[in-house]
């Protein structure tokens, strides 16, 4: 039987035991593992009975090995019995050991209690999930832009044109290294070049030479040019524009599985609406949980916050590897940050995340939101499928953890169901 005693707000003392039967099993394990290490006169190596070895070397010769063998199961059983999970792995002490069993004690660091003030009728702002005409047209125009033809035009350059130019750059009336090129294509307004280089080409015509005056930025990668004014002699070789396809049935058939433009447009509206509904759900959850956290009083231990920050860093690092194919070191170098600075930036979010979890656990207790055995087993099956656990790994899953997670989810749904939309 396990016993919990409160030491302070973040510490409890857990006393638990491995009974005589469990310890007997541990002694058998220790004997079988170590019997070949003993030389007993009159017996071949490894053949001496345990009682003989204990008589020669002492009755407790196998105790240390046996204690280490029974400890993990006894500890996990005690945690399940007391429905408690420590923030960090504790140091476990042996209070007593004999043939009758082993008694252990451990001081556990725990999250502490949370106090939640008024979690009914939390508010969130109304979010219109219906896409606007401008959003719909923007998505259509994006598809048209992808399928546009590039055609040469004879007229002055305007915003959005693709202009082919030759140029020579001068600083203090002298050409500078790297300041000249031929056949360069610039999209006017894309800001591919420094300062307002592209905008000064607006109004120029094919075959015209114009002078463009710019200033290199102070942080320019070439330090020799940083902060200096320059003049470029630019020759306009060709002006092109994108010719967008007409918004008709032919266009819809070319880029989609629909026969008519109206069907294609309706599909865009449906997808935009679904995306905005997801956004609305996320906004609601974020606003309601933010208000819940603001109404929660909790004082989690520092080690819990530090551990959560480490988890967030690990998650961010995994995302970098998966989606951007870069390492954390590469990111830090690009961002001009140290790992410690990045880690510290997660502190506020870590505290918020912990307080939210503690608040939901407290609400689950107050509202008696529990999980049935069937729900717990289904959750363990779900996790086993996700993480590809074999039967042995699956059996190690603590049902209490699954029960707690399900209760927290039910508390989350409870708060959301009772939230109120405001204008």
CATH code of 165's domain: 3.10.50.40
In a domain, 131, yes or no: no
Q: CB of 138 within 8 A of CB of 165?
A: no
Is residue 206 scored above 90 in pLDDT? yes
Looking at residue 401, its pLDDT comes to: 86
Same structural domain, 62 and 104:
yes
Per-residue confidence (pLDDT) for residue 398, from 0 to 100: 80
**In whole numbers, what is the pLDDT of the chain averaged over residues?**
94
The per-residue pLDDT for range 49-101, each reduced to its tens digit, is 999 999 999 999 999 999 999 999 999 999 989 988 899 999 999 999 999 99
Give the domain range for residue 237.
149-243
So what's the pLDDT on residue 315?
95
Q: Would the pLDDT of 307 be above 90?
A: yes
Write down the pLDDT at residue 250.
96
What is the per-residue pLDDT for 395?
83
68 and 166, same structural domain? no
Interval 163-170 mean pLDDT: 97
- Asked whether residue 29 falls in the same domain as residue 57, the answer is yes
Establish if 144 belongs to a structural domain.
no
Give the model's pLDDT for residue 8: 92
DSSP three-state, residue 66: helix
pLDDT of 396 over the 90 cut: no
**DSSP strand pairing (229-243 vs 209-215):** antiparallel
| 397 shares a domain with 291 | yes
Cα gap 361→353, rounded to integer Å = 13
Say yes or no: 269 and 373 in one domain. Answer: yes
Domain identity same for 294 and 394: yes
Total domains in the fold of the chain: 3
Taken as a whole, the chain contains a residue count of: 423
Angle (CA) 333 337 343, round 5°: 125
Its pTM stands at 0.75
Q: Which one, of 245, 284, 352, lies nearest residue 129 by Cα?
A: 284
Q: How far is CA 72 from CA 33, 94, 245, in A?
A: 18, 13, 69
């Amino acid at each position: 039987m396990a016993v919990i005693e409160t030491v302070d707000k973040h510490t409890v003392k857990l006393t638990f035991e491995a009974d005589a039967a469990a310890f007997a099993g541990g002694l058998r394990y220790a004997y079988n593992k170590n019997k070949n290490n003993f030389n007993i006169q009159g017996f071949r190596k490894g053949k001496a009975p345990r009682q003989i070895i204990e008589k020669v070397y002492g009755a407790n010769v196998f105790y240390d090995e046996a204690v280490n063998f029974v400890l993990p199961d006894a500890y996990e059983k005690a945690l399940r019995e007391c429905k408690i999970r420590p923030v960090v792995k504790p140091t476990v002490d042996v209070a007593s050991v004999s043939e009758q069993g082993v008694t252990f004690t451990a001081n556990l660091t725990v999250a502490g209690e949370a106090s939640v003030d008024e979690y009914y009728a939390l508010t969130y702002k109304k979010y219109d999930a219906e896409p606007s005409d401008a959003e719909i047209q923007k998505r259509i125009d994006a598809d048209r832009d992808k399928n546009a033809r590039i055609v040469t035009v004879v007229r002055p350059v305007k915003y959005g044109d693709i202009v082919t130019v030759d140029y020579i750059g001068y600083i203090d009336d002298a050409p500078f290294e790297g300041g000249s090129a031929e056949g360069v294509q610039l999209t006017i307004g894309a800001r591919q070049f420094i300062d307002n280089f592209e905008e000064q080409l607006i109004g120029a015509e094919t075959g015209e030479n114009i002078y463009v005056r710019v200033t290199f930025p102070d942080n320019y990668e070439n330090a020799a040019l940083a902060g200096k004014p320059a003049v470029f002699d630019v020759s306009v070789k060709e002006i092109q524009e994108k010719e967008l396809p007409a918004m008709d049935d032919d266009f819809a058939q070319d880029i989609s599985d629909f026969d008519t433009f109206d069907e294609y447009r309706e599909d865009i509206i449906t997808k935009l609406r679904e995306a905005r509904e997801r956004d609305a759900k996320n906004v609601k959850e974020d606003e309601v949980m933010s208000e819940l956290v603001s109404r929660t009083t909790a004082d989690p231990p520092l080690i819990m916050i530090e551990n959560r920050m480490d988890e967030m860093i690990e998650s961010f690092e995994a995302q970098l590897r998966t989606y951007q194919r870069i390492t954390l070191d590469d990111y830090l170098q690009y961002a001009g940050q140290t790992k410690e600075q990045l880690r510290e930036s997660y502190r506020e979010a870590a505290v918020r995340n912990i307080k939210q979890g503690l608040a939901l656990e407290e609400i689950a207790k107050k509202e008696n939101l529990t999980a049935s055995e069937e729900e717990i087993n289904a959750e363990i099956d779900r996790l086993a499928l996700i993480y590809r656990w074999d039967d042995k790994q699956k059996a190690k899953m603590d049902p209490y953890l699954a029960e707690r997670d399900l209760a927290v989810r039910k508390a989350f749904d409870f708060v959301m169901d009772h939230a109120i939309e405001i204008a």
